Amino acid sequence: MVDHKKQFISIFNETARYHHRNKVFRDFITLAAASIHNGINCNDELENEYMETVSQYEAKDAERMAMLLAEVVMGLEAGSGDFLGSLYMTLELGEAARGQFFTPFCVSRMMAEMQLGDIDSLLADKPFFTVYEPACGSAGMLLAIAEVLREKGFNPTRRLWVSCTDIDTVASGMAYIQLSLMGVAGEVVTGNALNGERRRVMYTPAHWIGNWSLRLRKTN
């Protein structure tokens, strides 16, 4: 089997050596998130941010950014769990001074299995359930919940809606990318859950495709 994490790291190390590694990863997240979002719901602010970011890279490196996203897609399809969160820590890009440590996916998976032990009875008389994650990181916990839900015979795209927040733009971007690619409906907020700050809110493609705005209103 192809090791998509190794492939990602190999391409990443060749990408834009004239920029610091933290910047390249941050810009990759910016470009990937904007591409996914504007593919279904175009936002002028995101489009301008995309164009400003990509203009700082040579053409061959812009192509490598697309190759990096392809590795993320294939890695998630191969069942690599929290693909981006794992890479972020492997590349030592996390900020330890801010307490930024991403939970190993095996731990998230164990917690999800414990939380969803009674999911059959919960969804017996409800069309879906919602999950709120106030410090989501790269959304590893939410990805684990969706994975367990799927294994129990439920379609997470229709039976789960998430709201997650992170104060760090890279973390919220990783969360948006992974939740979007895994077909999880919900909102990803860049802001501070403690004081209610919501600097940016991005809805995943599954949110729009599944008409979740209407579904959520009907339950209120």
Per-residue confidence at 95, pLDDT binned at 50, 70, 90? low
Domain boundaries along the sequence of the chain: 4-93, 105-219
Q: Does CATH place domain 105-219 in 3.40.50?
A: yes
pTM of the model: 0.94
Model confidence at 97: pLDDT above 50: no
DSSP 16-67: -TTS-HHHHHHHHHHHHHHHHHHTTS--HHHHHHHHHHHTTS-HHHHHHHHH
Higher pLDDT, 91 or 2: 91
- Quick: pLDDT tens for 152-168: 999 999 999 999 999 99
Determine the Cα–Cα distance for residues 151 and 42; give it in Å rounded to an integer. 33
